[in-house]
């Protein structure tokens, strides 16, 4: 668990290209970053 947590902190959650294609297809929209999501939510509050 410690190693997994360390890697998450140093590298984040970087999807592979096949994951991006699959998620984009499932969601029906392009992916966006957490920063973009948080900025959008903060602007609407």
Give tens-digit pLDDT for 16-31.
889 899 999 999 999 8
Assess contact for 10 and 2: CB atoms under 8 A.
Answer: no
Calculate the average pLDDT of the chain. Answer: 88
In a domain, 23, yes or no: yes
Q: What does the block give as tokens for 7?
A: 């890697």
pLDDT of residue 25: 96
Mean pLDDT of 31-41: 90
Residue 36's domain comprises 15-45
Q: What does the block give as tokens for 15?
A: 């999807």
Number of helices and strands (H, E) in the chain? 3, 0
In a domain, 21, yes or no: yes
Is the pLDDT at 4 greater than 90? The verdict is: no
Q: How many domains are contained in the chain?
A: 1
pLDDT of residue 7: 80
In a domain, 22, yes or no: yes
């Amino acid at each position: 668990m410690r190693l997994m947590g360390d890697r998450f902190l140093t590298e984040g959650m970087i999807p592979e290209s096949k994951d991006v294609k699959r998620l984009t297809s499932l969601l029906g929209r392009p992916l966006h970053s957490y920063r973009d999501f948080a900025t959008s939510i903060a602007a609407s509050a």
